[in-house]
Structure 1
Amino acid sequence: MLRYLGVFGRVPASGHLCLDGEALLFIGANQRRVLSEEIGIGFGIVAAKMWVRARNPQVGPIAAIDVDQALYDEVVPALERNGRRQPDYLLAFPDESDPSVRNFELLETKGTVSSSNAEHQLARGTTQLAGLTVDANLLPGVVVSTVSNAAGIRLMAVDPEERKVRWSPSDDSLRSARHASRRRSRPTDKIDVAADELFASSTNVEMASLAEFGGLSESARLWRPHLLDWRGRRADSATVRENDLGAFIGEEMVLEAPGLERIRVFQGVARDVATALKGDDYRAVAETQRQFARIEKERGDAGGEDFRAGQPVAEAVSSDGALLRITVQ
């Protein structure tokens, strides 16, 4: 996000971020390709969550979980992924009829500057959705290609229909998955995983990623003990910021240079969610997230604003309790 801050503009009337078409023209070809891919990830996840909500209007928090981390407990370098055809993310969300049950779907994100290339990306992405099966069954999923250029942003998507996949978390499966050893397999076109293994691992990754986003290192290691092996120890963040949704605990970065505006970037987690993450009770975390998602939805339905009058502030809030705030002073 910070790397591409100069590419984004701000709509004065709403405070929402947008892309600056003129700024895009000054980015070199290779970096432009990388930019397209990374913008594709961001917009692809947003579109996928909208896709889930369109089919499940009363759904609670929706998480996008890195497939590599769920399968291998780490991010696999791009060169080592050559030959693999697995999708990027798992989408996880509570079942509308029974919140104790989780639904899982797949997401593959693409990014490009050309609409014609986007069509090829969608075709390739559908094969990647089929590259990960659970107990020999395909999962529902969506492929999103984001076309970003000076003319604006356009999203194209395809969602092959498959049967719904549901899973009920248990304390035993979650704790067992935290300490399981997962080694990378040789490159393959298709991977089949047991439901309990994949979904328990992905749920732990989801909890740890949220804690880490808020600077809650100890909580992150509770959910993913292997994090200590390659990230070392650091103290938990304690910065608190508030908005109309309540208090958030996280960390703040200040960017400044002589003669230029100061930029504050805060990322954190709702206080109640952060407190629940300090234990290893998934149900407690899920319940606080459902409560937060309900409040966040009510604010949206009531036309709540995510900016403050008189001060250039842009906020992004996700239904799982995460907040990103950028302030220009």
Structure 2
Amino acid sequence: MDLRYALALMGSPINVFGRSDATLAAEAQQRLKSSIAFGLPYLDGGITVRPVQILHELAVATRFAYAPDVFEVYRYWALMRYVGGFDRTKAMPPALTLSAAARKVRGHQRAIMSEEFGVGMSVVLARRWFEHTFPGLVMDTVDVDVAIASGMVDKPKGRRADFVLSATAPGARRMSAHGVLESKGATRSDKHARDIPAGAGQVEATTIQGKAVPGIVGGVLAGAELRYAAVGVQPLHSGGPVDLGEVGRLDGGTRVAKQVDASRAATDVFGTVLARYAEIADVPELFLRLAPARLRAQRRPTGRRGQAAQEVVNQVVYTGTRSRVPLPGGEMEAFLGVDRELIGALWEGDFATINRVRARPSRRGDVTAPAPDAQAARDEIVSTSTPATALVLRALRD
């Protein structure tokens, strides 16, 4: 597959087949004790998505899954290899499928690929569920292990969901946990069929400060075809989102205890969300300022993780890092960065600006058009669908 063909495909809106119906919900219901599984009509049949958005969501959601050392940073940028993992069917209208090269991957590497596709696609689905269920709020994904360490999530006896879906109230410092997400990836249809019921049980088992919350299970089948399945899970006895309290000053947590109204869980979780922006922008000093103590100890910066760079997308300046990947047909440059205005607001602790920048409607859309000049050249694609961040993939000219 030629690099420019791959980029053109990644930047084009295309249908992904999927289901979220009553039959699937009935299958998931068998694994639930105190919740109701239900189909999501707006996800049933398929959705239109630009594949670059799947890669963008994967890169942001899994940032803290990679340690800040040479080997792990290399693995993180290696996610960009999935640019060549997609193709389209010849049928009309075309649908997203795996490329011939991706279908040749076997064994453990194939399982890893399906799991990572599952994370990226599940976050895309969860964002649509969140916007439909909690309109006007900006969804954040928080790794459930981080949430357990903060005391927000109760540690279940069995398996748990992958992410907490949280949000801050518009114009305020108050934070709530609105639900959880379990992502699944499979290479065989039989496992894909079992994944959704199993995932529903994991959603039910994940409680926040002793309270059950709603959630979504998203699973991807990356076999001979590419498709998804999803169901919603609603507890029978739930008061809705769990109020985590007021976010304290974000200076590494050293002053939170002095604030009577501040919540340690809310401060730690929101600090983790914001510290992820600092790490993506590669500003170590800001990361140390924002991250809660446990995260600072785990991820103490050891130096820059890429070539520092800036990109201007739709008149917005993003600061971050870029890396180059040699591929058939040329060299690809990948940039991942954060809105520069947000970085300034994080330094100032300006919550009003933090919330305003992250809540810009254009950032929450599912489909973002490429830059006008890139449409003609077909050598650059852009995604800004994850709040306040941008992923730019560019084919370098010889």
TM-score with structure 2 length normalisation? Answer: 0.64
Partner of 1:266: 335
Partner of 2:321: 251
Partner of 2:161: 87
Structure 1 residues 153 and 82 mapped into 2: Cα distance closer, same or farther (>3 Å)? same
Listed as ranges, the gaps of 5+ residues in structure 1 are 12-16, 74-80, 181-194
What residue identity is the alignment partner of 2:191? N
Q: For residues 18 and 263 of structure 1, what CA distance do their matches in structure 2 show?
A: 22
SS in structure 2 opposite 1:163?
A: coil
Once the two structures are superposed, the pairs formed by residues 267-282 of structure 1 within 5 Å of their partners are: 267-282=336-351
Whether the 8 Å CA contact 1:71–1:201 is kept in 2: the answer is no
Structure 1 residues 44 and 295 mapped into 2: Cα distance closer, same or farther (>3 Å)? closer
Whether the 8 Å CA contact 1:114–1:147 is kept in 2: the answer is yes
Once the two structures are superposed, the pairs formed by residues 173-184 of structure 1 within 5 Å of their partners are: none
Partner of 2:277: 210
2:106 aligned with 1:28: yes
SS in structure 1 opposite 2:104?
A: coil
Shift of 1:271: 1.3
What residue identity is the alignment partner of 1:68? D
Partner of 2:395: 328
Deviates more, 1:169-178 or 1:19-28: 169-178
Query: What is the count of residue pairs matched by the alignment?
Result: 296
2:279 aligned with 1:201: no
Listed as ranges, the gaps of 5+ residues in structure 2 are 1-78, 90-94, 257-261
Q: Percent identity between the aligned chains?
A: 19
Q: For residues 266 and 176 of structure 1, what CA distance do their matches in structure 2 show?
A: 28
2:70 aligned with 1:70: no
Give RMSD over aligned pairs.
Answer: 3.4
Q: For residues 176 and 252 of structure 1, what CA distance do their matches in structure 2 show?
A: 27
Q: For residues 381 and 336 of structure 2, what CA distance do their matches in structure 1 show?
A: 12
2:128 aligned with 1:54: no
Q: Which 4+ residue blocks in structure 1 deviate beyond 6 angstroms?
A: none
Give deviations 1:206-261, integer Å, cap 9, x for gaps: 1111221122222111111545534334359752111215111111112237x851
SS in structure 1 opposite 2:234?
A: coil
2:215 aligned with 1:137: no
**Structure showing greater relative contact order (alpha-carbon pairs closer than 8 Å, 6 or more residues apart):** 2
Partner of 2:248: 172
Structure 1 residues 316 and 173 mapped into 2: Cα distance closer, same or farther (>3 Å)? same
Give deviations 1:294-328, integer Å, cap 9, x for gaps: 2445896xx74357121422222134201111111
Structure 1 residues 163 and 171 mapped into 2: Cα distance closer, same or farther (>3 Å)? closer
Structure 1 residues 296 and 228 mapped into 2: Cα distance closer, same or farther (>3 Å)? closer
Whether the 8 Å CA contact 1:38–1:111 is kept in 2: the answer is yes
Whether the 8 Å CA contact 2:268–2:292 is kept in 1: the answer is no
